[in-house]
Amino acid sequence: MQIHYLELTDFKSFRGKHQVGPFENLTAIIGPNGCGKSNIIDSLCFVFNVENARNHNPISSLKDGQRPQQCSVEAFLYTDEQKNTIVSFRRLQTRKRQFIYYYNNNEITEEEYIDQLATFKIGPEVFMLQGESDKLIKKIQWK
């Protein structure tokens, strides 16, 4: 499994619809302070349903202070090494903090969404967010 690209719609600092990627074998996220690098990582956590303290209010509040009614992130993934098959996961959040989940453009329940992610071995354990590596190292040092 490899991430092909992401589509962010009104997610944090990304007002409107934005495509991030396509990603190649090695990808780095670089740019000046304040350009949205952390928000790209947050979008991955959001779409893959990983709890992240920075994702409590992901709907963009840019442009005249008016907030859209919803935001979404969609991840397009290659499922084979030949890059012939693509699947998509999309998670949408409304301003009322309601979530809608899609797999290949079909609306599904959160439980079905998590099950589909698990078939690709995607879950909270695959992410090591900023600050977590320090906690892990300190935990190992104390043993």
Tell me, what's the pLDDT at 55? 58
Helix residue spans in 33-72 (DSSP H): 37-47
Whether 3 contacts 87, CB under 8 Å: no
pLDDT score, position 141? 58
For the CA atoms of 13, 11, 22, 35, the dihedral, rounded to the nearest 10 degrees, stands at: 10
pTM as predicted: 0.81
Q: Domain of 86?
A: 2-142
The average confidence (pLDDT) of the chain is 83
Please return the burial class of 13, using the count of CB atoms within 10 Å of its CB with bins 0-12, 13-18 and 19+.
middle
Task: Return left, alpha or beta for 25; rule: phi > 0 is left, psi -120 to 50 is alpha, else beta.
Answer: alpha
Residue 128, pLDDT > 60, answer no
- pLDDT tens-place string over residues 53-89: 565 667 766 555 677 889 999 999 998 888 889 999 9
How many angstroms separate the CA atoms of 143 and 141, rounded? 6
- Summarize pLDDT for 16-42 with one digit per residue, the tens: 999 998 987 766 778 888 888 888 888
Residue 9 sits in a domain whose CATH number is 3.40.50.300
Instruction: Name the band, by pLDDT with cuts 50, 70 and 90, for residue 8.
Output: very high
In this prediction, residue 130 carries a pLDDT of: 55
- 128 against 18, higher pLDDT: 18
**What was the pLDDT predicted at 72?**
96
What stretches of 35-105 adopt beta strand conformation (E)? Answer: 70-78, 86-94, 99-103
CB atoms within 10 A of CB 48: 22
Q: How many domains, the chain?
A: 1
